[in-house]
Structure 1
Amino acid sequence: MRETFPLLQNHIRVTSLIRTLFITKEVPYPPIGGVSLRTWQNINIMMKLGSVGVFSVSNWSPQNTSLPGVTLWKHSNVASQRSKWEKLENRLWWLQSRRHPDADWAYAKTAAEELDTILTKFQPNLVIFEEVWLYPYLNVVKRHQCQIIFDNHNVEASVWQQRHSSLPDFKSQFKAKIQLDHLLSIESDFVKQASQVWVCSEDDSRLINQYYKQVAPTQVIPNGINVAHYNSVYSRECPPVTKLENTRHNILFLGQLSYSPNTVAAELLIYQIYPQLRKLYPDSRLLLVGRNPTLSMQVAAQREPGIIVTGSIPDVRPYLAAASVMVVPLLQGGGTRLKILEAFAGGCPVVSTTKGAEGIKARNGEHLLIRNTIEELIEGVNQLWLDFSLRDKLARSAYELVQAEYSWQAVSRKINLAIHQLVPELAPLS
């Protein structure tokens, strides 16, 4: 789990007008990655505007039986609900333009029937879809009297093109092209049928217009974090992980390590960036922190004692406390990187590619260092390790930025304004 989230302090005037149902892929709490961090943020903020229900789907059944503060929660294990016919039908996804394997993963006809029952019982004013992969449930929601918000965590067609732009053989390229065409059809229909589309950044807002032209009104709702949760790291009161107390030359990378853009970045760190830094600083260590590390990452950690691969952890803060720099050598991806916001909140200086810092209002040399080649990334880390005044300057400016733009309080004001456009009766901010 990346964070434990207390409920947001009630600085918004609560109204009983809003009943919101979230439809989520996977269980949103406890949050264990970028998707659930954003989803739980939005749920927490909407709870201050009225009652919240959650309908979640996955291929497993959670151990927890309730979500903190949520009025109604129904979870469907779609893997156990699919009939043999549905499983066969899913293999033929390519015959229908608005089918995609990743969307089929989250769908079962029985789950759709359960959602219909929940909608009838809960009678929400708003339904918020978290991610494009829940598109198969759109027709169910449209049968009910409610407005639809499509929270597009990434412009997925763009991310898909980035991830599959250099496949090795014709068969793989052909399959990826078919999946992209279907994804474009799904994402296009979703953004046109929604009452409102949420994106993580101005960059994604421009991408939506570039890909889909005529769409529902688009609102920038940033990824945010509970900044106070990291105060003990920022103040250096949080003890670092045992055996990592020497924090002078520890390099940190956070994220779900099996996610393709993170996998590529982690491999750059393992095989190109860290070995060169290790020559300059023999005591340096590379901390790859996150769930589902690949086999190659685990093998690298067994070969090289300076590489630490954690897998899932209960709390990221002791690793932030152990780090002297976060390096984000991302070459692919969409949305905005919560890992950078966590580093900003914890006072950990950041060296990132332009892609890694995309969508965050951070300026090179003021809040972080932007470096785009392997040599530049190494130079940036070396610069921070040699210049303590630069480290402190970046950390202070980055902390002020995350408080002003990416705290839950800042994001809640943006959500309130977005919802007010759909429900004008909503009381304005106090």
Structure 2
Amino acid sequence: VDFVPLPSDAWRWGRHRIALNSLLRRRAYDELWLRSREYRRVVTERIARGAYDVVHIDTIGLMQYADLVPPDVPVVLDHHNIESHLWARRGMNSTDALRSRFFATQADLVRKLEERVCGAVDLNVVCSDTDRERLLDIVPEAKVEIVPNGVDVEFFDAPAGAERAPRVIFVGTLDWYPNTAAVRRIAHDIWPLLRVADERIECDIIGGNPPADLVELAERDDRFHVHGFVDDIHPWLESALCYLCPIRDGGGTKLKILDALAMSKAIVADPIACEGIEVTDGVDILLAEAPEAYVEHVMRLKNADVRTGIERAARKLAVDRYSFRSIGRDFHALLEGLHRNE
């Protein structure tokens, strides 16, 4: 394994410089962010040293290095999201006119990149049927297969029906913009109603780099807790009454939902947070959009019988559909098929 740091990480105002360069050169931010002479040198050396059956390119911004792959080696392009859709949704959700315009421009630039490269690779891999449809709308001739995101169901495991503390929880990296927006929605829209509805309930926000306004709220409110990064989320997830996930942005599938399902966690989530995951409202998850709906669902989950039924169904879905073992077996078969056909 070779680790190559991003050059922009060492630059002053690195990402701002990339954004400006993207606009001036009319090249997608996703490409310029991952541009590195050192990375190109390392990939060139690796290709020269070994015979490869398949080359897996992990995101569309790395397709700029596909010219280094020998023409007889199949190339698989992995789409964690359909990036043009991600940029477009971010633009629609932004309340800042300048940012919204920048995001819309990026959506257009990335779409052109997708049109140029996705039909040329041997296989595109997406994580949901929704993303498959999005990609085929852009590049109808592309070969696309679904390999869902998964979860380690042995590592993330907890019994359903256990005693739960009167606490709601959110876990996620808090400087990633969909998560930042979600925790602010909890803090400013959902939590004030929930705090009044149950005088015992508390809220735990877990994740690195929390925004300052949430830290300040936690200092004023002794029932709202911002913990930052924790070494082990198991005890936090296991003891909580339910997991709140009001994410309304991003693409792909939300790994935090899969982790919580595997942990037999009752989840209250926005429908967008569950895109690409085969959940059933009222069976293995509770869906909500308005803050009042979140509060209503949390109150329902205080009933142990209701909560236990959802917890058991959540765990069953994670094990049956999203375990790494079954997903890895299916992906391996896809790669073997590519290799045999060459």
TM-score by length of 2: 0.90
- Partner of 1:390 in structure 2? 306
Counterpart in 2 of 1:133? 61
Work out whether 1:207 is the aligned partner of 2:134: yes
Q: CA shift at 1:103, angstroms?
A: 2.6
Match of 2:23 among 88, 94, 115: 94
Is residue 2:80 matched to residue 1:147?
Answer: no
Please tell me whether residue 409 in structure 1 is matched to residue 333 in structure 2: no
Shift, 1:134, TM fit? 1.8
Task: Look up the SS of the partner of 1:197 in the other structure.
Answer: strand
**Partner residue, 1:172:** 99
Alpha-carbon offset, residue 96 of structure 1: 4.0
Q: Is the 8 A contact 2:160 2:312 kept in 1?
A: no
Structure having the larger proportion of residues in helix: 2
**Aligned pair in 2 of structure 1 residues 169, 296: CA closer, same or farther (>3 Å)?**
closer
- 1:274 deviates by 1.3
Matched, 1:355 2:281: no
Shift of 1:373: 1.5
- 2:325 maps to a residue whose letter is Q
The structure-2 alpha-carbon separation of the partners of 1:222 and 1:80, relative to structure 1 and needing over 3 Å to count, comes to: closer
- Output one character per residue of 1:47-77: Cα deviation in whole Å (capped at 9) or x when no partner: xxxxxxxxxxxxxxxxxxxxxxxxxx11112
Equivalence map 1:278-357=2 (5 Å): 278-357=195-274
Task: Work out the percentage of aligned pairs sharing the same amino acid.
Answer: 23
RMSD of Structure 2 on Structure 1 (CA): 2.7
Q: Does 1:378 align with 2:318?
A: no
Specify every segment of 5 or more residues in structure 2 that has no aligned partner in the other structure, as ranges: none
Deviations 1:123-156 (A, max 9, x none): 3221111122323222233x45421111100111
Aligned length, in residue pairs: 340
Q: Quick one: which amino acid aligns to residue 117 of structure 1?
A: E
* Secondary structure at the counterpart of residue 155 of structure 2: helix
- After TM superposition, give the deviation of residue 193 of structure 1 in Å: 2.1
SS at the partner of 2:154? Answer: helix
Question: Which whole-Å deviations, capped at 9, do the CAs of 1:226-285 have from their partners, x for residues lacking one?
Answer: 101123x32789xxxxxxxx9432111121111111111111111111121111222211
* TM-score, normalising length: structure 1: 0.73
Conserved? CA contact 2:267–2:286, under 8 Å: yes
Whether the 8 Å contact between 1:253 and 1:327 is mirrored in structure 2 is yes
Structure 1 pair 384/78, CA: closer, same or farther in 2 (3 Å)? closer
Q: In the aligned structure 2, how far is the partner of 1:360 from the partner of 1:227?
A: 16
Q: Aligned residue for 1:40?
A: none
Q: How does 1:213-252 map to 2 (within 5 A)?
A: 213-215=140-142, 217-231=143-157, 233-234=158-159, 247-252=164-169
| Counterpart selection for 1:196 from 123, 130, 145 | 123
The separation in 2 between residues aligned to 1:173 and 1:342, in whole angstroms, is 32
Q: State the distance in 2 between where 1:377 and 1:80 align.
A: 40
Number of the residue aligned with 1:103: 31
Letter in 1 for 2:36: A
